[in-house]
Amino acid sequence: MHRIRTAAVVAVTLLVAACSSSPAASSSSAASVAPSSAAASSAVATSASPSTAASSAAASSAAASASTAGCTAATLQTVAPGKLTIGTDNPAFPPYFKARKGGNTPPWDPKQGDPTTGEGFESAVGYAIADKLGYTKDQVAWTVVPFANSFAPGPKKFDFDLNQVSFNPQRATTADLSDGYYFGNQSVVTFKTNPLANAKSVADLKPFQYGVQVGTTSFNAIETIIQPTKQARVYDSNDAAVEALKKKQVDGIVVDLPTADFISNVELDGGVIVGQLAQGQPEHFSAVLAKGSTLTPCVNTAIKTLTDDGTLTALASKWLPFQNSVPTFTQ
């Protein structure tokens, strides 16, 4: 889903996620949203084929051929010659991006994360992919890309985008979505004083009013897994959904697990993660590239290498160390 975090998230207890950021659709209490993949079991898995229904063997074969096709800084065609441009939204929220000591660099929101630090899960992943492609840290540039714009049709001002974009087939029709670099579940957040906090099963979740960011896999999780008796209220951003929760306009919100951790520990006074949803196939985050980008097989090669050598697991353990403490709803 989206983001909302800060360095205060260090003292947390949970893990994994599934989509989103700040789309361009209008706020409303009812919206028609593109379907997304359902959330599922928390795990940093080994690899996943994204953009199509291709098998892992086919993805591995593509990655292997890419590695011999000149996936190096000297040969790659990037939007800025000699540079690798990575997109993400602004604010760039912890735990995916960490604030810079002494102040963030422009244009990054001074109260949230700064992608250029190399700290925070997606910042670290971005630089790790860049390194595998032969780019040094000073050859990496970050640019602001609103969440929904990353996978919208048309040319891109970035080489790839990292913004908790969960893979789904519809997004893959307008952009290339890489193999998964992170796998996880959607989660329900509320206040400890709300009766929703006592839910022990998916059935217990049904009677409540939910808020959610438009266009996200979190919305799809509400519709297909929770199936509440009240239609979800849809907002332009996670920030707006959190505000609705604070104002008691909704009982709870659904977000990816790392975002839920930040919201419950930092954004809310008395917030709690009710549980994570384990139904369906595991979701994964994909890097987003222009449709048909020549960089896509190279990025997949880098992700496979970082998966195989344990780097992605280590980064998830470092920056998203809260997997096993949140209850999992299996029914």
Q: Indicate whether 61 and 153 sit together in one domain.
A: yes
Looking at the structure, do residues 198 and 139 belong to the same domain, yes or no? no
In a shared domain, residues 66 and 213: no
* Dist CA 272 CA 46 (whole Å): 30
Q: Cα separation of 156 and 145, whole Å? A: 9
CA distance 221 to 37: 8
Does residue 2 belong to any structural domain of this protein? no
Say yes or no: 153 and 235 in one domain. no
Cβ atoms 20, 162 nearer than 8 A: no
Residue 45 domain-assigned? no
Please report whether residue 323 resides in a domain.
Answer: yes
61 confidence band (pLDDT: 50, 70, 90): very low
Q: Give CA–CA dist 45/54, Å, rounded.
A: 17
75 and 117 within one domain: yes
pTM comes to 0.65
Displacement of CA 147 from its chain's centroid (Å): 10
Determine the structural domain holding residue 139 and report its residue range. Answer: 56-181+285-329
In this structure, are residues 251 and 210 in contact, taking their beta carbons and an 8 Å threshold? yes
Whether residue 168 sits in one domain with residue 289: yes
Q: Looking at the structure, tell me whether residues 170 and 298 fall in a common domain.
A: yes
Do 72 and 120 lie in one domain? The reply is: yes
Pick 47 or 108 by higher pLDDT.
108
User: What residue type is 209 in one-letter code?
Assistant: Q
Task: Say what the pLDDT of residue 14 is.
Answer: 33
Q: Which of 7-21, 144-158, 160-174, 243-257 has the lowest mean pLDDT?
A: 7-21
In this structure, what token pair is assigned to residue 14?
């949970």
Q: Is the pLDDT of residue 58 over 90?
A: no
pLDDT in tens, 244-253: 999 999 999 9
* pLDDT above 80 (res 38): no
- Domain-located, residue 48: no
Q: What is the DSSP string of 71-136?
A: -STTT---SSTT-EEEEE-SSB-TTTS-PPTT-PPTTS-TTSB-GGGS-SHHHHHHHHHHHHTT--
C-alpha neighbours within 13 Å on the C-beta side of residue 203: 1
Both 177 and 318 in a single domain?
Answer: yes
β-pair partners for 212: 234
Per-residue pLDDT averaged across 197-217, rounded?
A: 95
Which of 169 and 295 is assigned the larger pLDDT?
295
pLDDT in tens, 72-92: 999 999 999 999 999 999 999
One domain, residues 209 and 264: yes
The answer as to whether 49 is a domain residue is no
Is 46 among the domain residues? no
In a domain, residue 68? The reply is: yes
CA 77/CA 39 separation, integer angstroms: 35
Separation between Cα atoms, residue 113 and residue 99, nearest integer Å = 4
Higher-pLDDT residue of 271, 33 = 271
DSSP E strands: which ranges in the chain?
A: 84-88, 140-144, 160-161, 175-184, 186-191, 210-213, 233-235, 252-256, 271-277, 283-290, 328-329
- Based on the domain organization, do 85 and 147 belong to the same domain? yes
Percent of the chain with pLDDT over 70: 78
Q: Look at residue 280 in the predicted model and tell me its pLDDT.
A: 55
Q: What is the pLDDT of residue 306?
A: 98
Confidence band (pLDDT; 50, 70, 90) for 322? confident
Domain with residue 240: its CATH number is 3.40.190.10
Amino acid in position 90: N
Q: Domains in the chain: how many in total?
A: 2
Same domain for 172 and 289, yes or no, is: yes
Helices (H) and strands (E) in the chain, counts: 9, 11
Q: Does residue 115 form part of some domain? A: yes
